[in-house]
Structure 1
Amino acid sequence: MTDGSWITLISLGVTFLFMMGVPVLLVIFYWVVGCSFVMGLTLDNTGAELMNVFNKGFALLAMPLFILTGDLINKSGIARRLSNFAYACLGWLRGGLAMASIGACGLFAAISGSNSATTATIGSMLHPEMVKGGYDERFSAATAAAGGTVGIIIPPSIIFIVYGFLMNLPISDLFIAGIVPGSLMVLAMMIACFVICYINKWGFLITLSPWRVFKTAVGAWLGFFAIGLVLWGIYTGKFSPTEAAGVTVGFCIIVGVISYPLNKLMKNKPDAPVEERSLASMVVVEGFTPIEIPSIVVRSAQITGILAPLIAVSVVMQQILSLLGAQQVIGGFVTGMGGYYPVLFTAMAIVFVAGMILESLPVTIILAPILAPIAASVGVDPIQFAVIFLVGASIGFITPPYGLNLYVASGVTGVPYFRLLRYATMYLVSLVIVWFCVAIFPSLSNTLLPGGYLFELLSGLGG
């Protein structure tokens, strides 16, 4: 048998393993090892390449720190305060609680940078409340899954860190470029949510109370401060994304440890004036004890332990694909489309199809080095293409058959995977509309970057 025949046989074999439910990390690893033997590459070479991925990637240090941030804000109670604020603002609308869950996903994403963490946290908190509030359980679970897609677009973003590392782009610029598209994704999903709930008459309405909005805003002040701290530091250049991750982790630990005894102290003062106890409950979150920190770190390390090997083995897979000439084949196909929009839309179609069967990390690592230079050759701005590429990858989180967020939502809510698909479709359509808007209008990505309209407007106000 020729080398090509062996590689085809190996590819068919790992495809069968993937269809049987073998984790994607092992599927890619088996393919890498099998192709390495066929091509005469030693396992020593494969191991060395796996290690080189992290030896050269200082920016990747931000990944475990942002994952830890997500767990810390969840454990401390900050995430619940953000959810309460979103509900106070939107609960008076039809489908307000569902829309609030999407808004809470956007707020949580602005601190954690992870799609799965966003889906799991907001889904576990608000799915039971939505079911109690008269929403269909399938719709409730699908809403959590769809809301989590913004976890990798609204900064800070783990996948933007990986993309910037691969393509040698400023991660801070990528973060800033993701703010407006991520916000539009949240808005589009809220509109879709409102339409679905209005048609089905789901949700109990609450009265819009300025006092309740103010009270929950004060209660969520620590979350707003954490979001502002990250964005301010990166936008002004005070610290790098990796440093921002470290600062945010330190802030969350200090807040959690200090808040716990203060919260206990107020609960042990039943004779305190009502106003005093009310103010304290608004300002002080639940927190956690120092003894709980190791367990939080271990949980974050488990997630990092899944993502980090996947990054490394996907990089090696991309290298092997390059040796096999896949880059030339895909590049020739895309370039053959000719013209700005044909090339761009063809690249988007490839990302969409890849997102249906692979997680965003391998999609980014394998396809970004192939598609980004082609897009640049027809005049697409590298930062804009990064946002286009990653918005497309994020849509893959609710696109069957893979749809990672659908699996996560199914796991935390108990709703079977296939029962989520019906209500995920409407969200999918809204996200695709935003995706094409980001592709057609470059200003949506660069308006906050130097030279962009909002950047100039904000600079004028500040100076």
Structure 2
Amino acid sequence: MTDGTIVTMISIGVTILFMLGVPVFLVIGWWVVGMSFVLGLPLLNIGAALSDVFTDGFALLAMPLFILTGDLINRSGIARRLSDFAYSCLGWIRGGLAMASIGACGLFAAISGSNSATTATIGSMLHPEMTKGGYDERFSAATAAAGGTLGIIIPPSIIFIVYGFLLNLPISDLFVAGILPGILMAGAMMTACFIVCWRNGWGILIGLSPARVIKTGIGAWLGFFAIGLVLWGIYTGKFSPTEAAGVTVGFCIIVGFLCLPLYKLMHRRDGEKPEDRAIEERGFAEMLLVQGFGPTELPSITMRSAQITGILAPLIAVSVVMQQILSVLGAQEAISAFVTSMGGYHAVLFTAMAIVFVSGMVLESLPVTIILAPILAPIAAGVGVDPIQFAVIFLVGASIGFITPPYGLNLYVASGVTGVPYFRLLRYILPYLVALILAWFTIALVPGLSTALLPER
């Protein structure tokens, strides 16, 4: 039996395992081990590569810290205040609560950097409110899934950290480059949301009240401060992304510890919490505080974040080894030759986008990024695409994969937190999918959207 036949059999075998639901880490790991035996590579190489990723990848330290930040702002109540503010601004428009869900996803993403955390948090909070407000439950769940795509584009972003680590690009520049494209994506999804809700007559309108907007804006001041802290520190160079993540975690812990005792003092004698009352009925002091959390809750919050990190970090490490083996097999050269043969600037760019889109349909964004970015980025740079712009194009395409069947991670997350079956979401995700694809091509054709805010290089 030839080596080529064995390689094909191993690849088919792990593909079947993936389709049967075996975790991606194990699928890639088994493929790496099998290929190492076939190619005669020492298994010591795998251990050395894994060690190098965790010892030399200082930038990757930001990943667990931003994951922890997302859990802290959710448990403290900051995420709820951001949602209230978004609804106050948009609730007067047809479909306003659904649009507010997308806006809240954008605000939450600006602190957490995670698509699944964004979908789960906003979906669990606002799906019941949307259902009670006259929206179809399937559309409500699909809205949370679509809004979660902003989690890896609006900075800070876990996947931008991974991309910058792999391609040796300044992570701070990548964060800044994601701001305008993230806003464009949010605007495109809100437009699609408005059209769908207007056609179906969904949603209960609330009057536009400047007083309510101001009050909820004041109530969300801690969230705005956290967003501003991250962006200011990274944009001005005061913090590296890793340091910004550490500072934000510290800020969230202090807020949680300080607010909890003060918040408890404001409980009414009948046991009602300030958050249970209408916004108009809350006092100024109540609006300045959030629910918070105690020191005894911190271990459980940290453990949840550690579990997510424990899933992502080994996947990054083993995928780096996968890159090396693909290089030995000549896969990178084959893909490079195919894409380059397409012709000039736009042909190469659109072919690369098509590859990312198709890959995102069957793989999570992390392996897509780790496997394809080192192959496609140099090709794009060779035809004149700015490396930072291509990073944004690549990752916007990867984010669209979160709501693209058959994989669609955000669809599974939204289904889990809302109880709506996965296949019932697919019809209602289509308008958002079209809106995001249109935004994606706009980002690809207008380089300034990705580079306008960057400092001169």
TM-score class, shorter-chain normalisation, is: over 0.9
**CA deviation profile, 1:312-337 (whole Å, cap 9, x unmatched):** 11111111111100000000000111
Match for residue 221 of structure 1?
221
Give 2:453's aligned amino acid: L
Partner of 1:81: 81
Whole-Å separation in 2 of the counterparts to 1:128 and 1:102? 15
Which residue identity lines up with residue 56 of structure 1 in the other structure? D
**Cα distance in 2 for residues equivalent to 1:121 and 1:29:** 31
Tell me the SS of whatever aligns to 1:401.
coil
Partner in structure 2 of residue 292 of structure 1: 297
Cα deviation for residue 268 of structure 1 reads: 6.0
Match of 2:283, SS state, is helix
Provide the rounded CA distance (Å) in 2 between the counterparts of 1:147 and 1:411. 16
Matched to 2:351, the amino acid is T
Whether 1:312 and 2:320 are equivalent positions in the alignment is no
* Equivalence for 2:328: 323
Give yes or no for the alignment of 1:405 onto 2:429.
Answer: no
- The match for 1:37 is 37
User: Any conservation in 2 of the 1:114–1:158 contact (CA below 8 Å)?
Assistant: yes
For residues 159 and 290 of structure 1, the distance between their equivalents in structure 2, rounded to whole angstroms, comes to: 30
Q: Name the TM-score, length of structure 1 as normaliser.
A: 0.95
The 2-side partners of 1:276 and 1:94 are apart by: 25
Deviations 1:199-222 (A, max 9, x none): 111111111111111110010000
Q: Which residue of 2 aligns with 1:422?
A: 427
Task: Note closer, same or farther for the CA distance 1:276–1:432 as it changes in structure 2 (3 Å cut).
Answer: closer
Q: Which residue of 2 aligns with 1:340?
A: 345
1:365 aligns with 2:391: no
Q: Secondary structure at the match of 1:227?
A: helix
Partner of 1:387: 392
What is the CA deviation profile of residues 83-133 of structure 1, one whole-angstrom value per residue up to 9, with x for unaligned ones?
Answer: 000001001111111000000000000000000000000000001111111
- Partners of 1:122 and 1:144 within 8 A in 2: yes
Once residues 182 and 33 of structure 1 are traced to their aligned partners in structure 2, the CA distance between those partners, rounded to angstroms, is 38
Q: Is the 8 A contact 1:266 1:280 kept in 2?
A: no
Residues 290-309 of structure 1: CA distance to partner in whole angstroms, max 9, x if unpaired? 11001100000001011111
Aligned pairs for 1:452-463 (under 5 A) are none
Query: Do the aligned residues in 2 keep the contact of 1:178 with 1:387 (CA within 8 Å)?
Result: yes
- Mapped to 1, the partners of 2:368 and 2:116 lie a distance apart of 16
Structure 1 window deviating more from structure 2 (276-285 vs 303-312): it is 276-285
Partner of 2:2: 2
Gaps of 5+ in 1: 453-463
Report the alpha carbon displacement of residue 276 of structure 1 after superposing the two structures with TM: 11
Whole-angstrom distance in 2 between the partners of 1:282 and 1:269: 19
Give, in angstroms, the shift of residue 45 of structure 1: 1.8
Q: Distance in 1 between matches of 2:84 and 2:96?
A: 12
- With normalisation by structure 2, the TM-score equals 0.96
Shift, 1:266, TM fit: 2.1
Q: Check the 8 A contact 1:177/1:449 in 2, yes or no.
A: yes
Counterparts of 2:16 and 2:455 in 1: how far apart (Å)? Answer: 48
Partners of 1:118 and 1:138 lie apart in 2 by 18
Matched residue, 1:252? 252
Percent identity (aligned): 80
Q: Distance in 2 between matches of 1:417 and 1:315?
A: 32
Matched, 1:281 2:286: yes
Whether the 8 Å CA contact 1:178–1:445 is kept in 2: the answer is yes
> Alignment partner of 1:291: what SS?
coil
Asked whether the equivalents of residues 266 and 277 of structure 1 are also in contact (C-alpha less than 8 Å), the reply is no
2:455 & 2:122 partners in 1: Cα distance? 34
How far, CA to CA, are the matches of 1:375 and 1:128 in structure 2?
44
Partner in structure 2 of residue 456 of structure 1: none
Aligned to 1:140: 140
Cα distance in structure 1, aligned partners of 2:456 and 2:41: 48
